[in-house]
Amino acid sequence: MSQRILVWDVPTRVFHWLLALSFCGAYLTAESERYRDIHLVLGYTLLGLIGFRLLWGFFGTRYAQFRSFLFKPGEIAAYALSLLKGKPAHYIGHNPLGSVAIWLLLGLVALTCMSGVLLFQDIGGDALEELHEFTSNTILVIVLIHIAGVAVSSVLHRENLARAMVTGFKSAKPEQGIHRSYLWLGVIMLAAVATFWVDYPATGLATPDVAQAVQHDDD
């Protein structure tokens, strides 16, 4: 008998939505000098989120751990074929194609953030700037494909995958669920990000003009 079970812990959900929000904001402000500091603060936020996710991939709950969505090429191909036939296998956590998107996003976001930090320090020149733009655009493409995949899988499996990443719950056998949501850690994550956004100009990471303006206000 299937019932409502907890699959996604709170830190994983907070990470997911903060990553989506931060990337969208960073992408939209990338070409504007006026919003350069917003772009920077969101970029540093993304870097911090990736750092957390790397740790949570080893120490997190069952479906958040990397080993839960490590699939062989054959498994990925088989799932893609079953998806084309309209009869994909059901997975409680990330499915094989979803896992490909997750791995690509983790790697590309990390690369984009690190190249952005170097560019802010005037390191790398035009070549690194082109890499930064290329990886950013590639992330956008993967995100759009991922959203389409979520929509298709939701229809075929008759379950709202996006809602599950909000509530944390899916329908499955009781023994397949996780037992701890780690609400306290999710709250700490939100508080840490909110504090960073508020105090960003005073951290020394902001552009000189913004940092000087904050220092002037403090005086």
* 4 CB neighbour count, 10 Å cutoff: 12
pLDDT value of position 208: 61
Asked if residues 107 and 44 have their Cβ atoms less than 8 Å apart, the reply is no
User: What total of structural domains would you count in the chain?
Assistant: 1
Which three-class secondary structure state does DSSP give residue 157? helix
The sign of the CA dihedral 91, 93, 99, 105 is positive
pTM (predicted TM-score): 0.90
H-state helical runs in 2-124: 10-28, 36-59, 73-84, 96-120
Which three-class secondary structure state does DSSP give residue 172? strand
Scan for tokens 């990471």, then name that residue: 205
pLDDT value of position 218: 52
Q: Residue 4: which H helix or E strand, with range?
A: strand 3-6
pLDDT value of position 4: 92
CATH value at residue 172: 1.20.950.20
What stretches in the chain show pLDDT beneath 70?
1, 204, 208-219
